[in-house]
């Protein structure tokens, strides 16, 4: 509501709503309330300087039609019994009294509490402008609230659609997880064959490990023997060298007698033959040991190749186990999300039940209001019944009207209290609704992250298999 159209006089301090200028009021009611010829014929002269009662009454009827769908022709129906005398006397009074009763029920919502019959029969310019400003302010507020409720309803529908889409995606992900976790019957035979082959490979590797350990022990023994033989050869070579030195020394020292020399030479030849034979035997043993060492190296290389293959197989099995653990973790997360979804659905059911209880209470309040309205209508009927004696009992009728005014004020106060209670409950419902929206947004974010992780895991599993 723009402040440029508001009246800046002292009435603003007395009222809780802005008092608009006459041009603004006329333009608003011509565009928002009246239609057709009525909008064309409604002008500033109908309000100032002397308001026209017929135009004001017609405007009030259109306002009631806009707010409560109460058509103008309904005001002309006389809700009285059939035994009434002179019903033609009520034809002029019934629409005015109907509009008056409806306006008395409606205007307290606009914070106008002093509306009277005189404002319909003989309206004043200032009071009419104040009343129309209050109704205009209420219509502005009503329009804003309708837009807000429409936006909330639209967001709620979109959130419900998103929730249904996410539940469908969760179900699809569950089906995919079940398909991935269960081995199909076509591949069960292959899985069993792979398991048996893996068991055979493990047993073969154990036997190979035992053979390798035995071969390593033999190689170690051969190495020790080679070391011993080489040590002996070196000793023999040293001995041969020493013997040669001794022979040289002995040649210089021995008296050259042919027999002794021959005997010594024969002994030396026999020693040399023995040494050569032991050397040949040692060389043959050394060659055999070198061949065994080469065979052991080849066997060790083959065993290393087998070990690498076994390590690769073990790594692949570890990866499959990790994938299975990831699938189990995803299933657990899915179960947790399902539990959270069930809790959210239970909260939503509780909120719906609370709203249903609130609607029931409102319907009960509406029934009570209807009963009170019927009581008021009965009182008005009684007043109509006494209308033919109004000239004789005018003072009594005035007293009855004052009593009805007091009762209507009390009823307005009760209505105000009930409205405050309803507003508090609606605020609580709005807070609960906002919490539900926040939890749904968090839940949607978590579901998106989980779906991305599951897609990544599925792609990895496809690459491995």
Higher-pLDDT residue of 184, 371: 371
**Residue 223, Cα to own-chain centre: how many angstroms?**
73
Say which CATH number the domain at 153 has.
1.10.418.60
**Residue 69, Cα to own-chain centre: how many angstroms?**
41
In a domain? residue 454: no
pLDDT at 427: 87
Burial class (CB in 10 A: 0-12, 13-18, 19+), 284: exposed
Identify the sign of the CA torsion 345, 348, 352, 357. positive
Q: Give yes or no for residue 117 having a pLDDT over 80.
A: yes
Looking up tokens 């026209």, which residue turns up? 52
In a domain? residue 126: yes
Lowest average pLDDT, out of 17-26, 179-188, 406-415, goes to: 179-188
Q: What is the pTM of this model?
A: 0.39
Cis ω on the peptide bond leading into residue 94 (within 30° of 0)?
Answer: no
Do 125 and 50 meet the contact criterion of CB atoms below 8 Å apart? yes
In a domain? residue 441: no
Query: Taking the CA of residue 333 as centre, how many other CA atoms within 13 Å lie in the half-sphere pointing to its CB?
Result: 18
In a domain? residue 415: no
In a domain? residue 258: no
pLDDT digits (tens, 9 = 90+) for 252-296: 655 555 676 677 777 777 877 777 787 777 777 777 777 877 777
Do 20 and 6 meet the contact criterion of CB atoms below 8 Å apart? yes
In a domain? residue 363: no
Looking up tokens 């009963």, which residue turns up? 371
Number of domains observed in the structure of the chain? 1
Domain membership of residue 146 as a residue range:
1-166
The pLDDT of 1-28, averaged and rounded, is 64
Q: If pLDDT is split at 50, 70 and 90, which confidence band does 134 have?
A: very high
In a domain? residue 76: yes
pLDDT digits (tens, 9 = 90+) for 136-155: 999 999 999 999 999 989 98
In a domain? residue 465: no
């Amino acid at each position: 509501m723009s402040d440029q159209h508001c009246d800046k006089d002292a009435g603003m301090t007395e009222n809780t709503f802005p008092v608009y200028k006459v041009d603004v009021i006329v333009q608003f009611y011509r565009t928002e309330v009246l239609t057709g010829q009525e909008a064309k014929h409604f002008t500033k002269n109908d309000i100032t300087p002397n308001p026209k009662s017929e135009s004001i009454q017609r405007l009030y009827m259109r306002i009631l039609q806009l707010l409560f769908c109460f058509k103008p022709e309904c005001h002309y129906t006389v809700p009285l019994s059939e035994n009434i005398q002179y019903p033609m006397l009520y034809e002029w009074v019934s629409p005015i009294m109907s509009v008056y009763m409806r306006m008395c029920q409606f205007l307290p919502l606009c914070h106008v509490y002093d509306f009277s019959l005189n404002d319909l029969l003989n309206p004043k310019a200032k009071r009419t402008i104040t009343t129309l400003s209050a109704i205009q302010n209420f219509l502005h507020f009503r329009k804003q609230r309708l837009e807000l409720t429409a936006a909330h309803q639209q967001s709620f529908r979109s959130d419900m659609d998103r929730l249904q889409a996410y539940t469908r995606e969760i179900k699809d992900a569950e089906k995919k997880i079940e398909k991935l976790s269960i081995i199909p019957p076509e591949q069960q035979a292959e899985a069993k064959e792979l398991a048996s082959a893996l068991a055979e490979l493990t047993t073969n590797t154990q036997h190979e490990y035992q053979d390798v350990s035995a071969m390593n022990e033999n190689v170690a023994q051969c190495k020790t023997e080679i070391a011993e033989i080489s040590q002996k050869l070196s000793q023999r070579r040293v001995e041969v060298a020493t013997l040669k030195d001794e022979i040289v020394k002995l040649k210089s020292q021995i008296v050259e007698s042919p027999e002794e020399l021959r005997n010594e030479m024969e002994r030396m030849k026999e020693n040399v033959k023995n040494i050569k034979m032991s050397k040949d035997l040692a060389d043959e043993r050394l060659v055999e040991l070198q061949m065994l060492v080469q065979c052991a190296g080849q066997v060790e290389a083959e065993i290393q190749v087998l070990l690498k293959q076994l390590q690769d197989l073990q790594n692949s099995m570890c990866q499959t186990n990790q994938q299975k653990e990831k699938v189990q973790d995803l299933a657990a997360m899915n179960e947790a999300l399902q539990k959270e979804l069930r809790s959210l659905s239970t909260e939503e059911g509780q909120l719906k039940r609370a709203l249903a209880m609130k609607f029931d209470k409102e319907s009960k309040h509406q029934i009570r209001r209807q009963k009170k309205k019927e009581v008021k209508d009965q009182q008005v009927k009684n007043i109509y019944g006494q209308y033919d004696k109004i000239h004789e009992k005018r003072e009594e009728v005035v007293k009855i009207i004052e009593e009805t005014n007091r009762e209507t004020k009390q009823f307005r106060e009760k209505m105000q209290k009930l409205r405050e209670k309803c507003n508090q409950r609606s605020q609580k419902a709005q807070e609960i609704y906002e919490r539900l929206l926040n939890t749904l947004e968090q839940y949607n974010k978590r579901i998106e992250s989980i779906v991305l992780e599951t897609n990544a895991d599925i792609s990895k599993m496809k690459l491995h298999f």
